[in-house]
Amino acid sequence: MRTNFDFTPYRRSTVGFDRLFDLLETGMRSDIADGYPPFDILKEGEDSYRITLAVAGFRPDEIEVVAQQNLLTVTGKRPDEDGSGEYLHRGIATRAFERRFQLADHIEVGAASFDHGLLSIALKRVVPEAMKPRRIEIGSSTAAHDRTGAARDRALEAA
């Protein structure tokens, strides 16, 4: 049974949505089924989020958090064992991992904290002033014509 969805017809008839289609295709074939390390994503407010990863067995200095444009990568790598003992049972996962999170536009990564085996990363949506809605005052056409006419007259005098 085919589980892939073909976005080709949509790619041909849209402009500027390539990143969205790439994210959808990547999400369908990603290694989310691996599930290691497990994580939660919490919406704390209208524009604030928190990602929490369960990284038991790792120390903060063995974990790297890298934020770049629209991508947050969390990597963990433990040093090789010194061979001081022999494990009879190994239930705490200590394998290296890399977990990637695609971030929407204007999401900024804040502080990261480590407590009781949980890595917590704060995220906040920061919309630039130029993209925020703004109210446009409506004036009379006479006032607008007077302003543009005066500006035109000044420009002609300067030339």
ω into 79 cis (within 30 of 0): no
Q: What is the pTM of this model?
A: 0.65
Q: In terms of Cα–Cα distance, which of 156, 133, 117, 153 is closest to 39?
A: 117
Could you give the angle at the alpha carbon of 77 between the alpha carbons of 25 and 122, nearest 5°? 65
Q: Could you give the domains of the chain?
A: 1-34 (no CATH), 35-158 (2.60.40.790)
Tens-digit pLDDT profile for residues 55-68: 988 999 999 999 99
Q: Is 74 helix (H, G, I), strand (E, B) or coil?
A: strand
Position 16 pLDDT exceeds 80? no
Query: Which residues does residue 94 pair with via DSSP β-bridges, in sequence order?
Result: none
Tens-digit pLDDT profile for residues 108-154: 999 999 999 999 999 999 988 887 788 889 998 765 555 556 666 66
